[in-house]
Amino acid sequence: MLRQNVGVTFASPPDDEAPSDRFRVCFVCSGNICRSPMAEVVFRDLAEKAGIGAKVASSSAGTGDWHVGEPADHRTVAALRRRGYDGATHRARQFDADWFDDFDLVVALDRSHRRILDHWALTPENQAKVALLMDFAPHHGDALDVPDPYYSDDAMFDTVLDLVERACAGLVCQLEPALKHEHRR
């Protein structure tokens, strides 16, 4: 069963109920209604299928506050549903710079989000936690950004989901050996 993000406050990280021994990942896009909810749901599902679901916690947020409290865009939910994922209970949140200490990895969906997160990360430790999602995609070539589908059509949401699935699979593959090894200790 996938646990969904339902809070809307700014005071605590989106996955504040996750045990602290989990590897915590937060996916960040602009408004937290399209790309980052996709990544949150897909990553969680792939981690579960890889047998590390109990070792990770995923959440998502936006750099802006335009959609705080709103559900994911209906086209996001529909694209996820077509592939067997459930994003229906998502509620948008804005990332807070105080959350860096609560996450092991903060994943930006494009370079503009990365610049904002780099600006908000005031310590070298927190800056080291910021990565681009497409850096985890095998053979991503020059595609560093996951495009924003908000002003496009349903087909673009499916294209974005393709990119998200590929990159999240790469992220899970990178985490899996370390998290499974940690389990054997």
Choose the catalytic residue: 26, 29, 34, 168: 29
Kindly state whether residue 112 falls inside one of the protein's structural domains: yes
The per-residue pLDDT for 138 is 87
Does 22 qualify as catalytic in the annotation?
Answer: no
Distance CA 58, CA 25 (A): 5
Residue whose pair of structure tokens reads 């800056």 in the numeric block: 127
Kindly state whether residue 25 falls inside one of the protein's structural domains: no
Range list of β-strands (E), 76-162 = 105-108, 130-132
The per-residue pLDDT for 144 is 93
The distance from CA 101 to its chain's CA centroid, rounded to whole angstroms, is 16
The per-residue pLDDT for 19 is 56
Taking the chain (185 residues) in consecutive chunks of 10 residues, what is each chunk's mean pLDDT? 29 51 96 98 97 96 96 97 96 97 97 97 96 92 91 96 97 92 55
The per-residue pLDDT for 160 is 97
The per-residue pLDDT for 154 is 93
The per-residue pLDDT for 182 is 64
For position 105, which CATH number holds? 3.40.50.2300
Inter-residue contact 18 to 53 (CB < 8 Å): no
Choose the catalytic residue: 86, 118, 148, 158: 148
The per-residue pLDDT for 180 is 80
* Domain count for the chain: 1
Kindly state whether residue 155 falls inside one of the protein's structural domains: yes
Does 102 qualify as catalytic in the annotation?
Answer: no
Choose the catalytic residue: 24, 34, 35, 91: 35
The per-residue pLDDT for 185 is 44
The per-residue pLDDT for 12 is 42
Does 34 qualify as catalytic in the annotation?
Answer: no
